[in-house]
Amino acid sequence: MSSSTSPGEGFSILPIQMPSMPSFPVSAVHEVRIRRNITKMPTDIDGRSLFLKNVPADSTESHFRALFASLIGPGRFESIVFEDDRKRRWGTDPAQATKVASYGKKRKRDEKEAEEHAREEEAALLPDIWTRKIHKSGSSAIAVMADEKSVDVALKAIAKARRTTKYPVWGAGVAEDAPELGSAWITSHLQLSRSDKAATQKAVHAFFTVFNRKEKEAAETAKRLRNEPDEDGFVTVTRGGRATPATRNEAEAARRKMLEREARKKESTKDFYRFQLRERRKEEQAALVRRFDEDRKKVFAMKEKRTKFRPET
């Protein structure tokens, strides 16, 4: 393993030269960890995408476009999706996608329906109140390259840059139209925070439309799975089988049935072992002897009372 790779994780380390600023007049080196993108759910961009870790907080697509252009030349970098924007950009929850894929029988939506749903989800987003997002420390991103060859070229260029200590400069070659930070960034945020009431109301209505559609789809999926056996012949047990809550009589009947089942279960395991049979016979014999002694005492007591009885004259 080369020195440009992080041990145990397979990451290549890309050092970036951070230029000095008036507020911090010291040049520093920031390390971004990069490796091939590996996903649980296969997609059509897996072979030509890179997973980036510890991206700078002020990262934008323009910054990484200029960065990769300085490393491997222009035209090989396509786009980048940051950690905060991943769900919004692709609209896919990996955990939910895994659950849906495990069913194996979910119908594929046609392209027209998928485009319509994408438009609905886009309309459900609230207006942005920041002209440029600041990422949290240590956040990740997925960079999409033009082809698989560009991924190999990028990884080789990263290893060469670390070996020769010729690090790319952060922000060099970035377009001038990129939104600025600082006081101008805060001023624009204060203006955008006062969003239009009609636009906000429209986004809220669109959100509930998407929410209701997803709730309906989840209910239909649960209903179908409740009656459909899987490949092994088992029927999946799902929640929500009852449409209305149980009444008091039904609850009491269910309680009686449960007590009866427990009693039958206890009775069936009462004389399971031989020593239990012996103990039970001893207890029955002792109980017979005890009842016999009690009955004999009662008879003696009745005889004594009869002999002492004297009728009044």
Q: Give me the number of domains the chain comprises.
A: 1
Q: Which domain holds residue 152?
A: 5-85+133-193
Other residues' Cβ atoms within 10 Å of the Cβ of residue 142: 19
CA atoms within 13 A on the CB side of 95: 0
Instruction: Output the CA torsion sign for 163, 164, 165, 169.
Output: negative
CA distances 197 to 105, 203, 210, Å, are: 43, 10, 20
List the structure tokens of 240: 């929500």
Note whether residue 73 is domain-resident.
yes
Using alpha carbons, list the distances in angstroms from residue 259 to 97, 112, 269, 272: 42, 56, 16, 21
Amino acid letter, 229: P
Q: Is residue 310 part of a domain?
A: no
| 32, 14 Cβ separation under 8 angstroms | yes
Q: For residues 14 and 112, is the Cβ–Cβ distance under 8 A? A: no
CA-to-CA distance for 300 and 256, rounded, in angstroms?
Answer: 46
Could you list the beta-strand ranges (E) of 91-166: 140-145
96: in domain: no
In a domain, 9, yes or no: yes
> Is residue 147 one of the residues assigned to a domain?
yes
Q: Does the residue 97 lie in any domain?
A: no
Q: What is the pLDDT of residues 278-298, one digit of tens each?
A: 888 899 999 999 999 999 998
- What is this structure's pTM? 0.53
In a domain, 161, yes or no: yes
Give pLDDT tens digits along the chain (313 positions): 334 444 446 888 999 998 887 777 888 899 999 999 888 777 778 889 999 999 998 888 888 999 999 998 988 999 999 887 765 544 444 334 434 344 444 445 567 777 777 777 777 777 777 677 888 888 899 999 989 999 999 999 999 988 998 899 888 888 776 777 777 777 877 777 777 788 888 888 888 888 888 888 888 877 776 656 555 556 555 555 544 445 566 667 777 888 888 887 777 666 667 777 788 889 999 999 999 999 999 888 888 877 665 666 5
